[in-house]
Amino acid sequence: MGFDFQKRSGARLVPDYRSRGVRLRLFLVASSLFFCIWLVTAIADPGLRQFFAPGSRPIAGGPPLTESERATGTVDTRLRPHDTEQTDSSHLAEVTAVPRPAIPERASEEASSVERTWSHGWETVFLQLEPADRDALFAGLRRVRRGITPETNSWQHVLASLDKAWIEYQAMAFEPLEKLEQDERAKWQLVLDTVERRWVDDWRPRLERFLDAASLGPADLSYADGLQRMLDPFALDLVRDDALISRSAERPIWFRLLERLSQASPDDLQRQSSGPIGYMQLFDQPRTYRGRIVTVRGTAVQAYRIDERYEETDVKGYYVFTLRPAGGPARPIIIYALELPTGFPAVGPLSSDGQTTTLNEELEFTGYFLKRMPYMARDGVNRAPLLLARGPGWSPPPEAMSPASENLRLILALLGAVGAAGLAVIWIWRFSPGAASRSRHLNGLPDQIEPLS
C-alpha cells in the first residue's frame, strides 16, 4: 500500500502514519483557517454576499428579475412641451374609435331594445358635446358622488347642451322610421318615445336637482355613479394612440382613472388585473388593452414628480417613471403613479433643463393602460405604452448598519471564526489517522504481552 512499517517491541508490525498524517492535518488546518477568513470577509462585504446570492431582493408580486431581464443604460423620455393641444397629423397613426368593454361593460346584445337605445343615445349625445362640456359633466358628476353640488353656471350650461343634444338625437333617430313596415315602425316608435320620456321626465329633472344641496341624497349619488359608469367607455373611445396626453378630448377619462386609482387599494387592483402583460402586447395592441387593469414589471431607470392638484379628487400630484420592461426590449414603458412606497428613494421634480432623478430599482406596477404615447428621445420622437398606476410594488434593500454595530459585528465574527478554527484543529488532531499511534508513543507499550487464551 506504500506505507512504511516498523516493528514495535517484537510484538507486531504497526503502520507508520506520520508522513501521510502530517500532510493531511496541515491541509485540513489550512482549509479551516481559509474558510474562517472568507467567512469574516463575506460578513463585512455586502458585495460578496450579492455575488453569491444575486437578485436576492425580489420585487412585490413576483420572483427576482433574472440577469437577462436586467438592463443597463439610460432612456431619455422627456416629453415635448404640450401646453397646446396635439392634433392628429400625417406622421401619426390614424385610429378609428371602436367601442371597447373597458371600465364597465356596455349593454349586451341580449339587453332590451330600450336599454340599448338609451345607451346608444348617451354615447351619441356625449360625443356631440364640446370638450369643455364633457369636462364639466365629469367634474359635476365627480362632485355629486362626493356629496357636493356642482358649480352652478357650468352645470346649467352642461344641462342645456345635453338637452339640445338629446333633441337632435331623437330627430335623427326618428328619420329612418318612415322606411320601415308599419309593425316595425310602431315598435321602434314606442322604443324612442320611452327613451325620450326617460330623459325628459326622469333624468333631466334629477340632474337639475343636483344643484340643490338640501335635496341631495343617496338616490342622487346612485344616479350620478350609474351615469358615470355608462359614460366611462364612451370617454375611452376618444383616446387616440400616438397623440400626446395633452389632448383636451382625453382629459375627462384621464381624471376619471386617476380618481378610481386614488380610491382603490393595491389588493383591489391586483384582483382586477389581467395579469402580467409584456411590452409588445401593449405596444402592438393598445386598443385591446385600453382601460383594462394590467401588471408590468421591470427596472425603473428614472423618475420625476409633478405637483398638481385636481379639483374634488384626492390627487395632489403624481410621479412619472421610465420603466425598462423585464425581458426587453430596450424600450421604455411610461408610468404615471400617484404615490411612492415607504422608504423609496426620494424623487424630485423635473428640472428646467430636463434632468430627472436617476434610479435603478426593480418595480412592479398594476394600473390602467391608457394609450401608446409619443415622447422625445435622443433620436427623435418615439412611442411608448402609458400606464396610470397607484404606486409601485417594491422591496427595500437591507438596512445599513451603523459603524459601531458594524465593528461589533466584525469583532464577534472574528472571535467566532478563531474559535471555530481552534475547534477544527483540535478535532483534526484528535481524530486523525495518527492519533492512535501518538497515544501509544505517549503511553508506552506494556513490558510483556499476554498470550491469547
Which pLDDT does position 260 carry in this prediction? Answer: 92
Choose between 179 and 170: higher pLDDT: 170
**Is residue 449, in this structure, part of any structural domain at all?**
no
**Per-residue pLDDT at 106 exceeds 70:** no
Q: Assess whether pLDDT exceeds 80 at residue 312.
A: no
What pLDDT, on a 0 to 100 scale, did the predictor assign at position 277? 92
Q: Is residue 412 domain-shared with residue 381, that is, in the same domain?
A: no
For residue 341, is it within any domain? yes
Q: Are residues 270 and 389 in the same domain?
A: yes
Of the candidate ranges 11-15, 343-347, 413-417, the one whose mean pLDDT is the lowest: 11-15
- The pLDDT mean for the chain works out to 76
Residue 381's φ and ψ, nearest 5 degrees, are -85, 120
- How many independent structural domains does the chain possess? 3
Q: Encode pLDDT of 114-149 as tens digits.
A: 899 999 999 999 999 999 999 999 999 999 998 899
- The parent domain of residue 290 ranges over 266-393
**pLDDT band for position 450 (50/70/90)?**
low
The residue with greater pLDDT, 154 or 396, is 154
**Reported confidence tier of residue 421, pLDDT bands at 50, 70, 90:** low
What is residue 217's predicted lDDT score, i.e. its pLDDT?
Answer: 87
Has residue 257 been placed in a domain? no
Let me know whether 219 and 298 are in one domain. Answer: no
pLDDT above 90 coverage of the chain, percent: 42
- 242: in domain: no
Q: Look at 177 and 49; give whichever has higher pLDDT.
A: 177
Final residue in a domain of this structure, among 194, 216, 236: 236
Q: Which residue has the higher pLDDT, 122 or 38?
A: 122
What is the share, in percent, of the chain residues with pLDDT greater than 70? Answer: 63
**Whole-prediction pTM value?**
0.68
Q: What is the pLDDT of residue 231?
A: 96
Domain CATH number, residue 380: 2.40.50.140
- Can you read off the three cell numbers belonging to residue 19? 508522513
The yes-or-no verdict on residue 317 having pLDDT over 80 is: yes
Q: Is the pLDDT of residue 404 over 80?
A: no
**Shared domain check, 195 and 313:** no
452 is a domain residue = no
Query: Residue 294: which pLDDT band, with cuts at 50, 70 and 90?
Result: very high
| Structure confidence at residue 444 (pLDDT) | 52
Q: What does the pLDDT read at residue 301? A: 94
Residues 308, 329 within the same domain: yes
**pLDDT above 70 for 234:** yes
- Tell me the average pLDDT across 103-110: 40
> In this structure, is residue 371 part of a structural domain?
yes
Look at residue 162 and tell me if it is in a domain: yes
* The pLDDT value given to residue 215: 83
Q: Which of 109-113, 204-208, 356-360 has the lowest mean pLDDT?
A: 109-113
Judge if 12 and 34 occupy the same domain. Answer: yes
| pLDDT, position 94 | 30
Q: State how far Cα 6 lies from the chain centre.
A: 77
Average pLDDT in the 390-416 region? 71
Q: Are residues 164 and 209 in the same domain?
A: yes
Mean pLDDT of 240-248: 87
Higher pLDDT, 414 or 260: 260
* Alpha carbon distance 72, 388 (integer Å): 25
Residue 303 scores a pLDDT above 50: yes
- Shared domain for 385 and 407, answered yes or no, is no
Let me know if residue 250 belongs to a domain. no
Phi, psi (rounded to 5 degrees) for 446: -70, 150
